[in-house]
Amino acid sequence: MLKFIGGVAAGVVLTGALGYGMADKLMFNETMSPFGVEETVARIQHNIQAAGNGWTLSGLRNPARAVQADGGNTLPVMMVEACSTKYSKPILNEDSVRFLSILMPCKISVYKKNDGKVYIGTMNAGLMGKMFGPLVGEVMGQVAADQKKFLEMDPKKPAPPMIVPKAGGEGGGSGGGGGSNC
């Protein structure tokens, strides 16, 4: 009996340690882009516009700019922000999950690492949604499916121009601030 209890306890500890060690890999996705930062951003932006389901671009942020303005030296980081009222509406209309508005708009990060390669970072929307019950699970499952479309990039197609929002206008501008379409 003591061996059984010890085995169960060891299994619980091991499962907890593995879960803790892999949490970042489960909650977030990172994929390598075959393009540079700006071209990757442009392709994602155009895919968002073509996706349908009410998706609109709501911002383009450059968090590296603040670090550079403060005298720091950092590699490029751009954040594409998009929102779909088709998906945000049911969550914003439900008191029990309205706190999830902190996840809006949907953000996709494009950044360069020290290895010289460009990466795309996304939240694992499908898995995150399952943590918050059936309404959010269903909505975020649909967001995850659309998000996959945002990241499809055909190297045979010419690069579209990057969409740079007007400073202070709709879409927020490239440095932060401004409104959101969510």
CATH of the domain at 146: 3.30.310.70
Using alpha carbons, select from 137, 144, 138, 93 the residue that is nearest to residue 123: 144
Query: How many domains does one find in the chain?
Result: 1
pLDDT, average across residues 96-104 = 92
Lowest mean pLDDT among 3-7, 24-28, 118-122, 171-175: 171-175
Domain assignment of residue 34, given as a range: 26-150
Q: Let me know if residue 169 belongs to a domain.
A: no
116 within domain boundaries: yes
Residue 17 in any domain: the answer is no
In a domain, 100, yes or no: yes
Residue range 70-86: average pLDDT? 94
* pLDDT over threshold 90, residue 22: no
Residue linked to tokens 């007007």: 166
Q: What is the 3-state secondary structure (H, E, C) of the chain?
A: CHHHHHHHHHHHHHHHHHHHHHHHHHHEEEEEECCCHHHHHHHHHHHHHHCCCCEEEEEEECHHHHHHHCCCCCCCEEEEEEEEHHHHHHHHCCHHHHHHHHHCCEEEEEEECCCCCEEEEEECHHHHHHCCCHHHHHHHHHHHHHHHHHCCCCCCCCCCCCCCCCCCCCCCCCCCCCCCCC
- Band (169; pLDDT cuts 50, 70, 90): very low
Q: Is 14 a member of any domain?
A: no
**CA-based nearest residue to 179, from 57, 69, 38:** 57
Span of 23-27, 43-47, 66-70, 161-165 with lowest mean pLDDT: 23-27
What is the pLDDT confidence band of residue 4, given thresholds at 50, 70 and 90? low
Answer yes or no: is 138 within a domain. Answer: yes
**Residue 159 in domain:** no
Q: Which of 61-70, 113-122, 171-180 has the highest mean pLDDT?
A: 113-122
Q: How many Å apart are CA 139 and CA 94, to the nearest integer? A: 13
Query: Is 173 a member of any domain?
Result: no
